[in-house]
Amino acid sequence: MSNTDIWKGPEEIAACLRRLGTQLAELLARRGIERPLIIGIHTGGVRVAERLHREIGLAEPLGHLDISYYRDDFTSKGNHPQVRPSHLPVPVEGRHLILVDDVLQTGRTIRAALNVLFDYGRPASVILVALVERDGRELPIAADLAGFHADLAPGQQIKLVAVPDAPSIPPVMSRDGRYPGAAGSERRDLGGKLAAAGADSDLSLVVSDLPGSTKNRSGAVPGASGASDQGSAA
């Protein structure tokens, strides 16, 4: 059974998203961008993008991308993630875009998302916003804005989960778009932890062992830090 702990609860994430909204508005003002289009990457990135969209009060509708078939490691993973349709409400040609994801790790998801976007047109610019920027970068990609930074122990992963009113938790999202998550009693146990933390139909970040990992850990998140207005390259 994997070990799963709450890293950031709903109140911390809500405060972080407010800061990110303020920082994003300031960045847009400095660059003279007035009508950007926010695009979230399924699934966690869409949830973060929805909140940032409200924070900065954009009139343009929200876009979302599914990048499953664009990942360069899709065939090597040997899995079949649930594929969702992408939706770009307006043409991206010549537009300033804000690309949003929940967790930036290897950089492969962002590379795939850029490939999708350029299939639709050539944007004027792309700003990358991540709720969490963690270690493990494999490509030279960094966030323009990142809410949290974390260095995790080997065999650990960080996930964004949506907390329902009931004391249980829906399947947690993996970076490949699947929902392996925790099963049965472990999911109920995590739901109880989140309920005790005051979660109510909001978002939380949890740290867990990767499936099949045999490494033990203390439950702490080594090197985790708070909000920042600029992503760090790895």
**pTM given for the model:** 0.76
Q: What is the pLDDT of residue 83?
A: 58
Determine which of 87-91, 110-114, 205-209, 226-230 has the lowest per-residue pLDDT on average.
Answer: 226-230
Which one has a higher pLDDT value, 173 or 186?
186
- Average pLDDT of the chain, as a whole number: 78
Q: What is the pLDDT of residue 71?
A: 56
β pairing state of 37-41 and 63-65: parallel
Q: What is the pLDDT of residue 175?
A: 38
- State the SS3 of 147-159: EEEECCCCCEEEE
Q: What is the pLDDT of residue 214?
A: 55
Q: Give tens-digit pLDDT for 47-60.
A: 999 999 999 999 89
Q: Domain 4-209 maps to which CATH number in 3.40.50.150, 3.40.50.300, 3.40.50.2020, 1.10.569.10?
A: 3.40.50.2020
Q: What is the pLDDT of residue 3?
A: 78
